[in-house]
Structure 1
Amino acid sequence: MKRWRHLALLLMLMTLALLALPAYLERAELQLWLLGPAWCG
């Protein structure tokens, strides 16, 4: 029974990740755009 709870938690986390992904990607893209030149240069 514990495994089912673990699976449900994992599924919930994956759903949250999918919901948060677009905003996170936008933020990461902005950070890369800001930090990119410093990294490459």
Structure 2
Amino acid sequence: MAELFWFEKYRPVSFDEVVDLEEVKVRLREFVRSGNMPHLLFY
């Protein structure tokens, strides 16, 4: 089996794993729910 890059191996699977800041998760969920998703870049 080929080895995965670190970021692929440990990337979040759900919003709850994305960040620890609840207000950021709430905002992201609002974007998804409204269908109005701005261009975002995550690191």
Q: TM-score, normalised by structure 2?
A: 0.34
- Judging by fraction of residues, say which structure has more helix: 1
Answer 1 or 2: higher relative contact order, Cα 8 Å, separation at least 6. Answer: 2
